[in-house]
A = this chain, B = another copy of it.
Amino acid sequence: MADPNTRDKILDVGEVLFARRGFAGVGMREVADRVGLGKSSLFHHFRSKVQLYLAVLERVLARIQERVAPALKDTGDPCERLDRYLDAFIDALAEHPTTARLLLRGIFEDDDFDAGTFPEHHVEHRLEVILSDARRLIEAGVEAGAFRDVSPPHMMQTLIGATVYHFASGEFGEGLLGRPLLSAEAVARRKDELKALLHNGLWVKAQ
């Protein structure tokens, strides 16, 4: 097998570049230059550009799974459990500035090189696990009567937008907020705003 240190360096560089410009926007030459290798040497570590991209995606998903796993323990009412899960998920997204963007790209960029063409990777599977964990939390809350009778898939989409999109929005989001997206304060604020919306909605109710 290849030198693990070199392999990890390539993954690190690929992660930054793919997050910034997507699969098609990145060339192996640029990756090689940043790692400090000749372009050909990359193909010793990864058979093709697609394999490198999938390896980057899979490492990101694995990191997310690690972070949210402790939040999945079976204690507390549905509200506490969803709160805990969202906190952990947001922490995972905020850990590296590349995470949310790669996740968002992975979600809507794989319509291209058709899913299932590279079955040796577990990208699809890992994504499904993460999604079904979240979905079960919502369904359990609805069934228990702790949540309104929302459509779980629609609530999933809303939560993905409120978390993944938010932390993927980069310069645009920072322009809107007028401050960094990933500072400890900004991350804490995002958690609070999201949870307040879930608790109270936006409207002020007539008393």
Contact = CB atoms under 8 A, between A and B. Distances in A.
Interface in A96-111: 101, 104, 107-109, 111
Given A151-B189, A202-B148, A158 B101 contact: no
A196 B22 contact: no
A180 interface: no
A158 B154 contact: no
A188 to B, nearest CB: 12
| Total identical chains | 2
Interface in A137-178: 141, 145-148, 150-151, 153-158, 160-166, 168-173, 176-178
A80 to B, nearest CB: 11
Given A196-B148, A203-B79, A203-B198, A157 B171 contact: no
B20 A22 contact: no
A203 B189 CA distance: 20
A62 interface: no
A193 interface: yes
A158 B193 contact: yes
Interface in A75-103: 79, 101
A21 B21 CA distance: 12
Contact of A202 (B24, B155, B166, B177): B155
5 contacts: A108-B172, A148-B200, A150-B196, A157-B176, A198-B201
Interface of A: 20-25, 79, 101, 104, 107-109, 111-112, 131, 141, 145-148, 150-151, 153-158, 160-166, 168-173, 176-178, 189-190, 193-194, 196-204
